[in-house]
């Protein structure tokens, strides 16, 4: 029996079928199979795709939707099964959905844009021992509580603030105009409170050239900000620092125009809202010249170029911004961990996450690496100004795609078209 040829008709049929399937398979699967990658990784993507933060949540999701295509472009031998869960912009729903995702067999979770929702998910992941990759959430406590199954690829509120305030000085230096007073307006949710506390704590240490004359907080679900803007205008501050979300950013600017308040500039100290597509679309000319000091996509990275191309092909009417960029990176980090671990066991994946060093990625900054607390400390901020209805990098100068415009032209200035 030992010397007998065992290649039977049945084996031939099986081999033919397998070969045909391999040749007929889409490129990413073919690469994964050809390069002997492990069985598919199932990632639960938790985002607020309905409710108050729906638009931002959907922008995040679009970044993940094209991830497998970008991996194929980059010749990464990997394909991720992404299962979407809607947190409905509510921490309690986020917790329930995280439990549901884990029960459904997700090996890792990615999410969830908002700090409050992310904290709820992190608690579930820690209890169940499933790795969580935080795509966007700035509250420091997420990586300060000794969690063993959480990593964050987004700056903490102090990191955002330090980066943003450093860029403020650069904006004043480049423009030659320095405001003397500023008013801080902020949502009073977990993220907003972290930002306010961070700004107040860091402000004296950073030797800022302007004085913070007032801090006005408001509900992120506010339907009207007339009183808040009236109060801010009454301070006669030369600069507005809004820590906003999308809807309140629109209300804020609408009220500023109505109340004819024209500060020297609106400089977002690391918050969402001002650079988002819906903001740019609905505010029109009034959304121009507002500056967000946030991490942004690196236009020089080959992976960013592929992401932009895939995103534009799949979503021609939607803008790719940091929400899509960081969520894509969340999936990228999961893919790298899986390739390193060659296993879907939570412990192995977490070990691989801790050792991650991802040189090629999409956001501006150094390689993606996590410190002992699970925080990526290599992310850098940039100044992104709304110019011609598009968020455009204006600082740092080496990455600038257009010159900075500061002070902001008045509401009726001809430059606003």
Interacting residue ranges for another protein, rule: CB under 8 A: 50-52, 54-55, 88, 188, 216-219, 223-228, 230-231, 233-234, 236, 247, 254, 257-260, 282, 286
Least separation in angstroms between CB 248 and another protein:
11
Token pair in block for residue 219: 């509900």
Nearer to another protein, 54 or 294 (CB): 54
Nearer to another protein, 177 or 236 (CB): 236
Least separation in angstroms between CB 103 and another protein:
24
Least separation in angstroms between CB 180 and another protein:
17
Nearer to another protein, 159 or 216 (CB): 216
Least separation in angstroms between CB 399 and another protein:
33
Token pair in block for residue 148: 């063993």
Q: Measured between alpha carbons, how far is 359 from 277 in angstroms, rounded to an integer?
A: 29
Nearer to another protein, 282 or 340 (CB): 282
Nearer to another protein, 78 or 184 (CB): 184
Least separation in angstroms between CB 190 and another protein:
15
> Which is nearest to 121 in space by CA: 84, 140, 148, 93?
93
CA 378 to chain centre: 15
Least separation in angstroms between CB 51 and another protein:
6
Nearer to another protein, 38 or 284 (CB): 284
Nearer to another protein, 247 or 375 (CB): 247
Least separation in angstroms between CB 220 and another protein:
10
Nearer to another protein, 215 or 301 (CB): 215
| C-alpha distance across the termini of the chain, in Å | 85
Nearer to another protein, 84 or 188 (CB): 188
Looking at the DSSP bridge assignments, the partners of residue 186 are 217, 243
Q: Measured between alpha carbons, how far is 154 from 41 in angstroms, rounded to an integer?
A: 23
Least separation in angstroms between CB 233 and another protein:
8
Distances (CA, A) of 291 to 229, 244, 249: 18, 13, 13
Least separation in angstroms between CB 182 and another protein:
18
Least separation in angstroms between CB 87 and another protein:
12
Class of residue 222 by CB neighbours under 10 A (exposed 0-12, middle 13-18, buried 19+) = middle
Nearer to another protein, 152 or 250 (CB): 250
């Amino acid at each position: 029996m030992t010397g007998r040829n065992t290649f039977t008709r049945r084996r031939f049929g099986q081999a033919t079928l397998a070969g045909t399937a391999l040749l007929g398979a889409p490129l990413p699967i073919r690469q994964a199979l050809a390069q002997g990658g492990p069985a598919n990784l199932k990632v639960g993507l938790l985002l607020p795709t309905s409710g108050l933060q729906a638009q931002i949540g959907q922008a995040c999701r679009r970044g993940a939707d094209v991830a497998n295509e970008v991996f194929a472009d980059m010749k990464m031998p990997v394909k991720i099964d992404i299962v979407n869960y809607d947190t409905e912009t509510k921490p309690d729903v986020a917790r329930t959905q995280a439990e549901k995702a884990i029960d459904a067999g997700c090996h890792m979770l990615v999410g969830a844009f908002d700090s409050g929702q992310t904290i709820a998910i992190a608690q579930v992941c820690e209890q169940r021992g499933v790795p969580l990759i935080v795509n966007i959430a700035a509250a420091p406590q997420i990586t300060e509580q000794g969690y063993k199954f959480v990593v964050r690829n987004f700056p903490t509120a102090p990191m955002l603030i330090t980066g943003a305030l450093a860029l403020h000085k650069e904006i004043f230096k480049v423009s030659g105009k320095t405001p003397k007073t500023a008013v801080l307006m902020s949502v009073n949710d977990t993220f907003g409170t972290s930002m306010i506390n961070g700004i107040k704590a860091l402000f004296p240490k950073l030797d800022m050239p302007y004085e913070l004359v007032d801090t006005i907080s408001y509900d992120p679900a506010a339907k009207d900000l007339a009183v808040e803007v009236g109060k801010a205008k009454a301070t006669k501050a030369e600069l507005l620092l809004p820590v906003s979300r999308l809807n309140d950013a629109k209300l804020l600017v609408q009220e500023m125009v109505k109340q004819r308040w024209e500060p020297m500039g609106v400089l977002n100290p690391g918050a969402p809202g001002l650079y988002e597509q819906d903001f740019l679309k609905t505010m029109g000319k009034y959304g121009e010249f507002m500056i967000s000091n946030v991490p942004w996509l690196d236009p020089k990275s080959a992976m960013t170029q592929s992401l932009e191309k895939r995103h534009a092909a799949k979503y021609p009417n939607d803008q790719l911004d940091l929400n899509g960029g960081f969520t894509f990176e969340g999936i990228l980090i999961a893919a790298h961990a899986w390739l390193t671990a060659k296993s879907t066991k939570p412990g192995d994946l977490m070990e691989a996450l801790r050792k991650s060093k991802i040189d090629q990625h999409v956001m501006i900054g150094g390689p993606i690496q996590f410190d002992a607390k699970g925080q990526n400390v290599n992310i850098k901020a940039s100044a992104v100004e709304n110019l011609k209805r598009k968020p455009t990098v204006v600082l740092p100068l080496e990455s600038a795609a257009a010159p900075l415009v500061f002070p902001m032209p008045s509401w009726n200035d001809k430059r606003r078209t």
